[in-house]
Amino acid sequence: MRIKAVFASLALGSALVAGSAAMAAEGPYTQAQLDKGKSEYNGACRQCHAKEGAGALGPALKGDAFLKVFGGKPVAELRDYIHTNMPQNAPGSLTEDQLNVLTAYILSLNGFTPGQTEMSADSAKGAQLTP
């Protein structure tokens, strides 16, 4: 009887973990954009924001501090912030493609998974960063 209870607990725990993974929010970006965004990030942003957006000279791009600023807001606000303020030495110089792929990468750092819709100024308006 005790063994059945252990197996039942393990099965329930596995189902909960699987359910959590399945509940990850689908982002308004594709896998190709995520891959390109990671490359762009590592080439241009990592020096200030550290590996995987952990924060260093620049603020963290994931976690509680990040979500305190952008959580509950449209993804468009994050995208606009990046456009207006980054890179710090040349604000407003990022191309539309760079904005899209970098925003996609930052969303992935915050638990979003790639979807079928490409990141664009329009798709960013319809998505929300949930804390």
Q: What is the pLDDT of residue 106?
A: 97
**How far is CA 105 from its chain centroid?**
5
pLDDT in tens, 9-45: 333 343 333 333 334 688 999 999 999 999 999 999 9
Q: What is the pLDDT of residues 94-104, one digit of tens each?
A: 999 999 999 99
> Is a pLDDT exceeding 70 seen at residue 113?
yes
pLDDT band of 47, cuts 50, 70, 90: very high
| Residue linked to tokens 């994931």 | 62
All structural domains of the chain: 25-125 (1.10.760.10)
Cβ atoms of 122 and 33 closer than 8 Å: no
pLDDT at residue 24, as a whole number: 65
- Among residues 52, 59, 119, 104, the alpha carbon closest in space to that of 85 is found at 59
Does residue 66 register a pLDDT over 60?
yes
Q: What is the pLDDT of residue 25?
A: 84
